[in-house]
Amino acid sequence: MAFDIDMIKKVYANVAERVDAARNVTGKPLTLAEKILYSHLWDGTTNKAFSRGADYVDFAPDRIALQDATAQMALLQFMQAGKSKVAVPTTTHCDHLIQAKNGAGSDLQSALNTSNEVFNFLESVSNKYGLGFWKPGAGIIHQVVLENYAFPGGMMIGTDSHTVNAGGLGMVAIGVGGADAVDVMAGMPWELKFPKLIGVKLTGKLSGWTAPKDVILRVADILTVKGGTGAIVEYFGPGAESMSCTGKGTICNMGAEIGATTSTFGYDESMERYLRATDRSDVADAANKVKEYLTGDAEVYANPENYFDQVIEINLSELKPLLNGPFTPDLSTEAGKDMTDKANENGWPLKVEWGLIGSCTNSSYEDLSRASSIAQQAIDKGLGIKAEFGINPGSEKVRYTADRDGILGIFEKLDAKIFTNACGPCIGQWARYSDPANAPKNSIIHSFNRNFAKRADGNPNTHAFVASPEMVAAVTIAGRLDFNPMTDTLINKNGEEVMLDEPTGWELPPKGFEVKDDGYLAPEEDGSHVQIAVKEDSERLQLLAPFTPLGNSITGAKLLIKAQGKCTTDHISMAGPWLRFRGHLDNIANNTLIGAVNAFNGKTNFVKNQLTGEYDAVPATQRAYKKEGIKTIVVGDHNYGEGSSREHAAMQPRHLGVAAVLVKSFARIHETNLKKQGMLGLTFANEADYDLIQEDDTFNFVDLKDFAPGKPLTLEVVHADGTKDTILANHTYNEGQIEWYNEGSALNLIKKQNAS
């Protein structure tokens, strides 16, 4: 039986009335995304048609998921909200703080030894406030959500950008910062600008070496890392219906890499099969009664150009295996000759040192079974393996079942390391080097979602390429980045030329899923007696103090850094070894913007302190300004803050005294996180004004006292020689968000409202 089945049945009980009303108000057929959005309005049944990309709308999500790295800050904030229990079903998952090094057994024990304080904190807070708790080793949050909590037609939010994975089961699932989650946990509405809609029509059928991963790698190539910003991507067509549920999850998962609000598929037979295989026949039965409301209207899919803001069509029968990268997930190359040519042209190492399969993107039973069919061929055909191999199962249920069925044993015969059911290398938790900053240039291939510089192993010279699990297995066996299993031969141990056959596998385990201990701990019904202890001298955890409002008169603000090029949340607040400080704001603030490239010297973590004229690390320079009571500004390029949902990338600059971030454009989640923390998130009205900013600049906000929706702010930029430029800065703040700014943060406003 499913978790929270009564809640799910309530959603289905309301869906027909709410969708019919929305269809009547809008006067048109509806996409699936619109049906879910309109059926989850905070005010219930709608009497208004919302404008895409313009109207801010209050929603009522059905559930929340938190992962341990972001849960710490989210729950530290919730503890200040004045509530005794979460208002909607919420779970905490311990998957980020487990480092991959030697293998599952010792790595998990090492994590328990080093992060026990944090795990105990998360477990006790979950127990006190009514959150379900998934222990370390239970699995990666998004795979566990797909197996246990996702349901067609539902809406959820999660404090991880890859929450969107649940779109594989027909949800609108959206990654958010912890402050957004706190709103919903506290029983308040969740605000989102009504998204635009991108339709992706899939025709044909995947076959041979092509996998669902190649679909999203192709979409990323088309839309780029910012092409989905502010939009929901909805997949439909006969090609969509022919794919497995976990394959759909893979496609939705990497929608985060194109900046999409989320991605989703309509309810179909593959989803029903998956629900029943994961002991949720009650959900499937309930969904079948309203299934016409759990997919887009037929007219929409017949004439998509009339209902979507943009339509892309991909013929799966013509799609070929792709490798995306390095350093960005939208740089796409076909396997084989194209990769040879591009690698030689760009100096990418063709020798592959590691192949990695897993992460929340591709760690299902189907993924492991298809990759293992290639691994078995390496054994049967006497090929061995040329690169090192690592496997991260997505959950204990997947791991136990795959082990029972001999799948993990196949990988182990090739000396693969079976890592813990956790994120591991995907989020920088990989102890590959003792000195990653000075590690050599090399190439790796993985089935993860992100491949930014330093992402997996901390080495800026690691060229990481993203591919399907079966392609990862083939390339790892060959040891060459440009190996094309469809055309190329390999020499086996007997000197014979052999080819790899096409991968095979199982959508679902033939003997069903099995697990002895899935790692779940239910909270006590009444957790009021549970005590939560945070030691004053802890280096891992720190109770939060409210932020002070920045006020309506900011003058003399100094430029902290003018960031050039890609500046992701990894650049603003790195993961890897810094994950250990995710619950201690002051300690983790010491990594603030250390990965951002200074536009004035091309260096990272090396900026000018205007008070001394000396150059120093970004955090040290910012702390010097803070000590003198001087506010600062960060200037950035396009798609600033892309990547993870981590609100630390907003909270750290806020904590250190940054008042405003002025950029060419924002990634959605990061812009919202800045607003939630009471900061100014601004964009150049004229992008060319970015070039006006000089290293010694001081900023005066001319009309901040008139801060209002739709009205640009005027900045006077004073240069070192006394000359001045006036810059207009746009913003997307509405009245409620301006109130967050005036109160110092959204959390301050929640506390004020709860106290009144």
From 18, 93, 96, 446, the catalytic residue: 96
- Which residue in 580, 584, 646, 670 is the catalytic one? 646
DSSP string for 298-361? HHHHHSGGGT-SEEEEEETTT---EEE-SSSTT-EEETTHHHHHHHHHHT---BEEEEEE-TTT
Q: 276 an active-site residue?
A: no
HEC states along 197-238?
Answer: EEEEEEECCCCCCCCHHHHHHHHHHHHCCCCCECEEEEEECH
Report how far apart, in Å, the C-alpha atoms of 39 and of each of 35, 59, 283, 322 are. 6, 9, 18, 37
User: Which helix (H) or strand (E) segment is 6 a member of?
Assistant: helix 5-26
User: Which residues partner with 615 through β-bridges?
Assistant: 608
Contact of 193 with 230, CB cutoff 8 Å: yes
Given 68, 95, 183, 637, the catalytic residue: 95
Please say if 540 is a catalytic residue. Answer: no
Centroid of chain to Cα 207: 28
CA 615 to chain centre: 34
Name which of 495, 361, 492 is nearest 425 in CA terms: 361
Look up residue 382 and give its two tokens. Answer: 């006497």
**Which residues on neighbouring strands pair with residue 313, listed in sequence order?**
201
In terms of Cα–Cα distance, which of 535, 474, 471, 406 is closest to 212? 471
Residue with structure tokens 């390029």? 637
Give me 182's structure tokens. 């706190």
Distance between CA atoms of 66 and 132, rounded to whole angstroms?
10
DSSP 500: P
Distance (Å, whole) CA 88 – CA 61: 8
- Count CB-CB contacts under 10 A for residue 617: 18
b (16+ CB within 10 A) / e for 417-429: bbbbbbbbbbbbb
Is 96 assigned a catalytic role?
A: yes
Cβ atoms of 48 and 191 within 8 Å: the answer is no
- State the catalytic residue, choosing from 644, 645, 665, 745: 644
Q: Does the annotation count 655 as an active-site position?
A: no
Residue 273 a catalytic site member:
no
Catalytic residue list contains 95: yes
CA distance 75 to 62: 18
Residue for token pair 């959005």: 37
Contact 457, 428 (CB under 8 A): yes
Radius of gyration of the chain (CA): 25
Pairing of strands 172-175, 632-636: unpaired
Task: Find the catalytic residue in 18, 162, 370, 450.
Answer: 450
From the list 4, 62, 68, 160, the catalytic residue is: 160
For 569, the enclosing helix (H) or strand (E) is helix 569-572
d(CA 541, CA 538): 6
For the chain, helix (H) and strand (E) counts, in that order, are 25, 30
Distance CA 476, CA 364 (A): 19
Query: What is the dihedral angle through the alpha carbons of 448, 451, 457, 463, rounded to the nearest 10 degrees?
Result: 120
Catalytic (active-site) positions: 95-96, 160, 450, 644, 646
